[in-house]
């Protein structure tokens, strides 16, 4: 009798816990970037300071491009935090893309303005949960979105 080899393809990571483990391991492997450095590894990066302060929101940085400049008085480096494969921004009513803390934000009408953060709506969600819809006074529902803060 002839033996047969079977290969079962499996995307990895595939579960929320596997993603968390993968990103935790990867964050330790990817070197921090100073302002203006060449990005070697694509991902979502967070500003951080040697004193332990971390920026609230992530920035998408792509390999082969230059890391954005930052205020040296406040920040020391960009740290890799998450893989680009899973979203860090979702619309209300959509399935949550990642486990962790999320906050409701409003996209501003002008590109130069920072988006408004509604800290009173910060919540912890599990991947796959439906992100709630809230009515926020003086804010157009079409401009509201949820942004991931981290695991």
Indicate the domain borders of the chain: 16-82, 89-150
The answer to whether the bond into 120 is cis (omega within 30° of 0) is: no
Prediction pTM value: 0.86
Q: What is the pLDDT of residues 46-85, one digit of tens each?
A: 999 989 999 999 999 999 999 999 998 999 999 999 999 9
Is pLDDT at 118 greater than 80 in this prediction? yes
pLDDT digits (tens, 9 = 90+) for 5-46: 666 555 678 888 888 899 999 999 999 999 999 999 999 999
Write down the pLDDT at residue 13. 82
Beta strand 100-106 with 77-82: parallel, antiparallel or unpaired? unpaired
Specify whether the CB–CB gap between 101 and 59 falls below 8 A. Answer: no
Which band of pLDDT confidence, cut at 50, 70 and 90, is reported for residue 113? confident
Taking residue 78's Cβ as centre, other Cβ atoms within 10 Å add up to: 25
pLDDT tens digits along 131-145:
999 999 999 999 999
- Pairing label, strands 100-106, 89-90: unpaired
Backbone angles phi, psi at 5, to 5 degrees: -100, 130
């Amino acid at each position: 009798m002839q033996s047969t080899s079977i290969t079962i393809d499996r995307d990895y990571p595939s579960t929320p816990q596997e993603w968390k483990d993968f990103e935790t391991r990867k964050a330790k492997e990817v070197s921090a970037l100073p302002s203006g450095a060449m990005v070697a590894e694509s991902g979502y990066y967070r500003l951080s300071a040697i004193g332990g302060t971390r920026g609230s929101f992530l920035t998408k940085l792509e390999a082969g491009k230059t890391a954005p400049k930052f205020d040296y008085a406040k920040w020391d480096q960009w740290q890799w935090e998450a893989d680009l494969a899973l979203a860090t921004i979702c619309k209300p009513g959509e399935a949550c893309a990642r486990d962790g803390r999320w906050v409701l934000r409003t996209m501003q009408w002008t590109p130069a303005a920072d988006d408004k953060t509604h800290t009173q709506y910060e919540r912890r969600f599990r991947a796959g949960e439906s992100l709630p819809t809230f009515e926020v006074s003086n804010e157009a529902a079409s401009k509201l979105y949820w942004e991931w803060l981290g695991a």
